[in-house]
């Protein structure tokens, strides 16, 4: 039994772009790159579906944080604010302020 191959994103994009150009048939590309034609059709569809994302916010996706991470970061900020306040009060006699 043959082992499945994992292709990198650059390879997929290159093959999908060639398929989009339409200069050669998908079956010819599949034979040249040793991949199944269905894979090329899937890569081509993924490229078309994701093409609009390239032009949003200079190609950067907005950062998404889950609620648990935000809650834990807010808790950490609170702890650090309390510690900072405590230390600033304790250091006042030595700083002369």
Of 51, 55, 36, 59, the closest CA to residue 15 belongs to 36
Q: Which of 2-6, 60-64, 87-91 has the lowest mean pLDDT?
A: 60-64
Kindly list the domain boundaries of the chain, sorted by start residue. Answer: 1-62, 65-97
pLDDT at position 1: 65
Of 28, 29, 32, 34, the closest CA to residue 5 belongs to 34
pLDDT tens figures, 49-80:
988 887 776 545 556 778 889 999 999 999 99
pLDDT at position 91: 85
Chain centroid to Cα 13, Å, comes to 16
pLDDT tens figures, 19-48:
999 999 999 999 999 999 999 999 999 999
Its pTM surpasses 0.75: no
Spatial separation of the C-alpha atoms in residues 18 and 30, rounded to whole Å: 11
């Amino acid at each position: 039994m043959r082992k499945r191959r994992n292709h990198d994103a650059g390879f997929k994009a290159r093959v999908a772009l060639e398929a989009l150009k339409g200069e050669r048939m998908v079956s010819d590309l599949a034979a040249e790159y040793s991949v199944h034609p269905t894979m090329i059709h899937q890569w081509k569809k993924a490229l078309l579906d994701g093409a609009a994302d390239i032009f949003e916010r200079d190609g950067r996706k907005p950062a998404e944080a889950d609620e648990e991470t935000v809650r834990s970061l807010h808790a950490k900020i609170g702890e650090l604010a309390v510690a900072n306040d405590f230390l600033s009060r304790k250091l006042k006699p030595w700083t002369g302020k």
